[in-house]
Amino acid sequence: MNQMLDIMAKNGWRITEQRRMIAEIFSQDDGYLSPRDVYDRMSSKYPSVSFDTVYRNLRMLDEMGVLEQFYFMDGGLKFKAKCSSHHHHHLICMNCEKTLTFDDCPMEQIVKLPGNFKIVSHHFEVYGVCEECQI
């Protein structure tokens, strides 16, 4: 939670109680949360918070590298606290949303990109069904 707050402050954000609560929500939950999930948790304590404010903060936290966004075919856009220990990618179960990490990066196979394109960042997720859900 403190790391998330530090990154917000370094990016010039004022640390409001609502932003502190967003950091707390993601530090206490290691699963995927939709903007609606975050809004529902926040609106119980801050009834005047708008869904647009929550959504805008989540998108900006993703841009800062604090959160990662994922698109689930059935569940839509969801966010998760960014794994910051090392570069890796995700295998995500479409049934239970269990996530496994793997270190192989397909970007390492790309030798040359057209148009002298410079990669700044990338996401790579593989969606499937985990071993437990196959039973």
pLDDT digits (tens, 9 = 90+) for 21-65: 999 999 888 778 999 999 999 999 999 999 999 999 999 998 888
User: Residues near 95 by Cβ (< 8 Å), separated by ≥ 6?
Assistant: 129, 130, 133
Q: Residues 4, 66: contact at Cβ < 8 Å?
A: yes
Dmax (CA) of the chain: 52
Q: Residues 26, 81: contact at Cβ < 8 Å?
A: yes
What's domain 2-81's architecture? Orthogonal Bundle (1.10)
pLDDT digits (tens, 9 = 90+) for 71-120: 877 778 889 888 766 777 888 888 888 888 887 777 777 767 788 787 77
Query: Boundaries of CATH 1.10.10.10 in the chain?
Result: 2-81
User: Residues near 58 by Cβ (< 8 Å), separated by ≥ 6?
Assistant: 22, 35, 38, 67, 69, 79
pTM of structure? 0.73
